Amino acid sequence: MQSAHPPVRPAALVFGGSRGIGAAVALRLAREGHAVALTYVSRPDKAAEVVAAIQAEGGQALAIQADSADADAIAHAVDSAVAQFGPLQVAVVNAGVYRGAPLAQFPLQMLDQMLAVNVRGVFLAIQAAAAQLRDGGRLITIGSNTAVRGGVVGSSVYAMTKSAVATLVRELALDLAPRRITINNVQPGPIETDITADVLDMLVQRNPLGRVGQPQEVAGLVAYLAGPEAGYMTGASLTLDGGWVI
């Protein structure tokens, strides 16, 4: 006799899950059987589209407004996700900003914004999520191949922030190991999103594989890291960029 109650889905939280890579990750985790909460900053319409797409496939989803530069908003997002879906099994920290300028023209405000979101915000999201993760859970950050090599004038500060994320993940693996929580960092290269739409031709020409990546390809790697087969990998940074940094 079947139970009258459907099985409880493991909970996942995707910071920055309304567009591009984050949206693809949210959809993939939902297809892998997770109930997915996702955060957005300024596009509730895009977040609602992701939620609707997940629900249309029979999944569970929740959109939460949260600025990743705001510590209180990050904590509220975690609390809201747990209140809706229970303790987290997976947390993906995808929120980030890119601003570029040559050294002489790089304003302090731009520097502060990128450090606040890409470094401070990532740390705070990991810290808040880890407190609500089940033992044996998964933490995954979305970094960038610029942590290895950028090669574009004006990208120095962005590359610095992504190098900081890679280092943070490597060292936090030791903090989280006693709870069997793994933490890994995915470093995409050029991916076809609204952010890269204006420079796609240049990116394709420079890439050894002659193309850019798709958000679904990044989501596939995240799904692997979130699954049982990746339980022995932690503290790693995995680059998928078509050979850009070779």
184 three-state secondary structure: strand
- The Cβ-side half-sphere exposure at 81, using a 13 Å CA radius, reads 36
pLDDT at 5: 56
Give me the DSSP letters along 36-79.
EEEEESS-HHHHHHHHHHHHHTT--EEEEE--TT-HHHHHHHHH
CATH number assigned to the domain covering 11-188+224-239: 3.40.50.720
Q: pLDDT tens for residues 21-74?
A: 999 999 999 999 999 999 999 899 999 999 999 999 999 999 999 999 899 999
The percentage of the chain sitting over the pLDDT mark of 90, rounded to a whole number, equals 84
Q: What residues are annotated to the active site? A: 158
Distance CA 135, CA 161 (A): 29
